[in-house]
């Protein structure tokens, strides 16, 4: 066996630190503490190299919607590898898994979204969207429509194009991004930025920043607005109910494309197949990845409207594509994943049973002294930690200090929960049971208690 099974944790960590450059990781801290080594998983439970079990409150990175260890997906990959392990879809070529998956996605996607351009993940799909939208407008005789409007604290991926589309300040400080012609408006984060406004007033105000930005730039310059129906990596920011209808109105009133980045919200996360359905959004382009294959194989794409597809198709050759666009093994795995999601009515269960159950439990977290707001959309949720609920204050210690302490206590309690600054976030596998939800909540509360004790002991409960 060339894979390092049954190797002691310390040896794995030393080798890892010696040779593996990690994404989104502080290198020196990693070398000092050693990486957490995950070796196996089943259902919603991870096992690490010391045999410790963790309830995965994040479904990996928001992707393992169907849960771990589904043999049918392994069988689908095996069968496809034996039949046709690889072929491309360039130069007028295709293969049955690509055809079947494109048809299935056209059937599932709302409205007239019925053509798919495949990628290997969400970042490269958003890069596709940049080129596709600009090319679309050029073909329509409006080559000056090149600007994308996005939002501060949006996450659209990590490639040069996708990280530019994203609004993550820390990412923009590294590597010479954003690229030109990306503009940003404010995010609908009422807790942190809503001040004295009601959430509904604030939602309208933030949506109207889009109209102001379009007017400032000139409609003839704007290609598209891109947004996540619910911001994920930004901290599971659930927008006020007033937000999306106003955004949709503005997009309808102006000749721009609306791109819904559904990489997290797609495939059941919000209780419908797509977040666009939950939030009443009618996008022209939808970015998909993550839950499409439940993370079992890398695949993503852009689902585009018939009109966009028509213009691109009639416009000659689109000089764009990835070697692994519509990879047959990934496509076969995705098809099997979608088949199981339908057959086992997993999304209906989220919408009608486990989602509302989690929502009721999640709301009770605000009874904890540390928890300001608790918000949820389907199976993605967050709480804001605060030293003072009434004023919605941040901690004087700086964003992320309390969150990191809490994250580490969660691990000790056997729960993977991420922190974004001082928001604690979850997005568990959609197959999580009521009993497992109870366990998740109990472990989160235990971690909040320990966090509060630590913050008090260290004098960190001071508001900013
Ligand atoms: C994860 C994510 C991406 C990037 O997807 P990758 O597969 O990591 O490239 C893009 N958009 C959103 C909303 C995401 O959450």
- Express each pLDDT in 295-330 by its tens digit: 999 999 999 999 999 999 999 999 999 999 999 999
Q: Can you tell me which atom of ligand 1 is nearest the CA of 63? A: 1
Q: Ligand 1 mean position to 387 CA, how many Å?
A: 32
pLDDT > 60? residue 1: no
Q: Ligand 1 mean position to 82 CA, how many Å?
A: 30
Strands (E), 378-416: 380-385, 415-416
- Residue 332, number of CB atoms within 10 A of its CB: 29
Report CA-CA distances (Å) from 371 to 200, 310, 374, 385, 459. 22, 50, 7, 5, 18
Across the range 13-33, mean pLDDT stands at 92
Across the range 381-388, mean pLDDT stands at 98
Nearest alpha-carbon partner for 285 in 71, 450, 122:
122
- For 61, phi then psi, to 5°, come to -110, 70
**Under 8 Å between Cβ of 217 and 147:** yes
pLDDT > 70? residue 460: yes
Q: Ligand 1 mean position to 280 CA, how many Å?
A: 22
Across the range 427-440, mean pLDDT stands at 98
Q: What percent of the chain has pLDDT over 70?
A: 100
Q: Ligand 1 mean position to 123 CA, how many Å?
A: 5
Which pLDDT does position 29 carry in this prediction? 87
Which pLDDT does position 237 carry in this prediction? 98
Q: Which of 148, 171, 289, 418 to mutate to test the pocket of ligand 1 (most atoms within 8 A of CB)?
A: 289
Q: Ligand 1 mean position to 382 CA, how many Å?
A: 18
- Domains delineated in the chain: 36-66+345-457 (3.90.1150.10), 72-343 (3.40.640.10)
Report CA-CA distances (Å) from 441 to 184, 255, 413, 415, 448. 36, 45, 11, 9, 10
Q: Ligand 1 mean position to 157 CA, how many Å?
A: 5
Cα–chain center distance at 310: 29
Q: Can you tell me which atom of ligand 1 is nearest the CA of 162? A: 10
Q: Residue whose CA is closest, atom 6 of ligand 1?
A: 122
Residues in contact with ligand 1 (CB, 6 Å cut-off): 121-123, 126, 155-157, 228, 232-233, 261, 263-264, 289, 300
What's the half-sphere exposure (Cβ side, CA atoms, 13 Å) at 100?
15
**Under 8 Å between Cβ of 355 and 271:** yes
Q: Can you tell me which atom of ligand 1 is nearest the CA of 264? A: 15
Which pLDDT does position 2 carry in this prediction? 79
Across the range 70-89, mean pLDDT stands at 98
Which pLDDT does position 373 carry in this prediction? 97
At what angle are helices 96-108 and 328-343 packed, to 10 degrees?
40
Which pLDDT does position 281 carry in this prediction? 98
Q: Ligand 1 mean position to 453 CA, how many Å?
A: 35
Q: Residue whose CA is closest, atom 11 of ligand 1?
A: 156
Which pLDDT does position 273 carry in this prediction? 98
Dist CA 109 CA 100 (whole Å): 14
Nearest alpha-carbon partner for 244 in 325, 311, 360, 151:
151
**Under 8 Å between Cβ of 158 and 23:** yes
Q: Which of 264, 275, 285 to mutate to test the pocket of ligand 1 (most atoms within 8 A of CB)?
A: 264
Q: What is the CA radius of gyration of the chain?
A: 22
Q: Ligand 1 mean position to 162 CA, how many Å?
A: 9
What is the band of 31 on the pLDDT scale with cuts at 50, 70, 90? confident
Q: Ligand 1 mean position to 58 CA, how many Å?
A: 14
pLDDT > 70? residue 253: yes
CA dihedral 141→146→149→155, nearest 10 degrees, is 120
- Express each pLDDT in 127-166 by its tens digit: 999 999 999 999 999 999 999 999 999 999 999 999 999 9
- For 434, phi then psi, to 5°, come to -60, -40
If one compares 317 and 30, the residue with the highest pLDDT of the two is 317
What is the band of 61 on the pLDDT scale with cuts at 50, 70, 90? very high
Q: Which of 125, 148, 156, 286 to mutate to test the pocket of ligand 1 (most atoms within 8 A of CB)?
A: 156
pLDDT > 90? residue 5: no
Which pLDDT does position 115 carry in this prediction? 98
- Express each pLDDT in 179-215 by its tens digit: 999 999 999 999 999 999 999 999 999 999 999 999 9
Q: Worst-scoring range by mean pLDDT, 28-32, 72-76, 329-333?
A: 28-32
Mean pLDDT of the chain: 97
């Amino acid at each position: 066996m060339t894979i390092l099974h049954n190797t002691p944790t310390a040896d794995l960590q030393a080798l890892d630190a010696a040779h593996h450059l990690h994404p989104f990781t502080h290198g020196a801290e990693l070398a000092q503490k050693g990486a957490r080594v995950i070796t196996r998983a089943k259902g919603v439970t991870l096992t690490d190299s010391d045999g410790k079990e963790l309830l995965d409150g994040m479904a990996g990175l928001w992707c393992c919607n169907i849960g771990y260890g589904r043999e049918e997906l392994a069988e689908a990959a095996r069968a496809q590898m034996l039949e046709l392990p690889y072929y491309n879809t360039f130069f007028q070529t295709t293969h049955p898994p690509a055809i079947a998956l494109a048809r299935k996605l056209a059937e599932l996607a709302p409205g007239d979204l019925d053509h798919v351009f495949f990628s290997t993940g969400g970042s490269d799909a958003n890069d596709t969207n940049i080129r596709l939208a600009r090319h679309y407008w050029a073909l329509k005789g409006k080559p000056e429509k090149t600007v994308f409007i996005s939002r501060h604290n949006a996450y659209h991926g990590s490639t040069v194009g996708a990280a530019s589309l994203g609004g993550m300040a820390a990412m923009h400080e590294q590597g010479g991004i954003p690229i030109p012609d990306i503009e940003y408006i404010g995010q609908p984060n009422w807790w942190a930025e809503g001040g004295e406004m009601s959430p509904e007033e604030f939602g309208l105000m933030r949506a109207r920043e889009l109209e102001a930005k379009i007017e400032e730039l000139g409609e003839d310059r704007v290609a598209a607005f891109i947004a996540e129906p619910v911001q994920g990596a930004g901290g599971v920011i659930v927008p006020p109910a007033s937000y999306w209808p106003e955004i949709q109105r503005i997009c309808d009133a102006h000749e721009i494309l609306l791109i819904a980045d559904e990489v997290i919200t797609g495939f059941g996360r919000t209780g419908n197949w797509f977040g666009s359905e939950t939030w009443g959004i009618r996008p022209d382009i939808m970015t998909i990845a993550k839950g499409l294959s439940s993370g079992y194989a890398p695949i993503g794409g852009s689902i585009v409207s018939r009109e966009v597809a028509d213009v691109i198709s009639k416009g000659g050759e689109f000089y764009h594509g990835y070697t692994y666009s519509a990879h047959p093994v990934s496509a076969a795995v995705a098809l099997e994943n979608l088949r199981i999601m339908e057959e086992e009515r997993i999304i209906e269960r989220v919408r009608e049973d486990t989602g509302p159950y989690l929502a009721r439990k999640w709301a009770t977290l605000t009874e904890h002294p540390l928890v300001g707001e608790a918000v949820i959309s389907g199976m993605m949720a967050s709480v804001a930690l605060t030293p003072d609920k009434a004023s919605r204050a941040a901690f004087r210690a700086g964003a992320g200090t309390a969150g990191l302490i809490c994250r580490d206590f969660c691990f000790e309690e056997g729960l993977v929960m991420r922190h974004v600054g001082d928001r604690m976030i979850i997005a568990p596998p959609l197959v999580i049971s009521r009993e497992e939800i109870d366990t998740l909540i109990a472990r989160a509360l235990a971690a909040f208690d320990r966090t509060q004790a630590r913050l008090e002991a260290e004098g960190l409960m001071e508001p900013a």
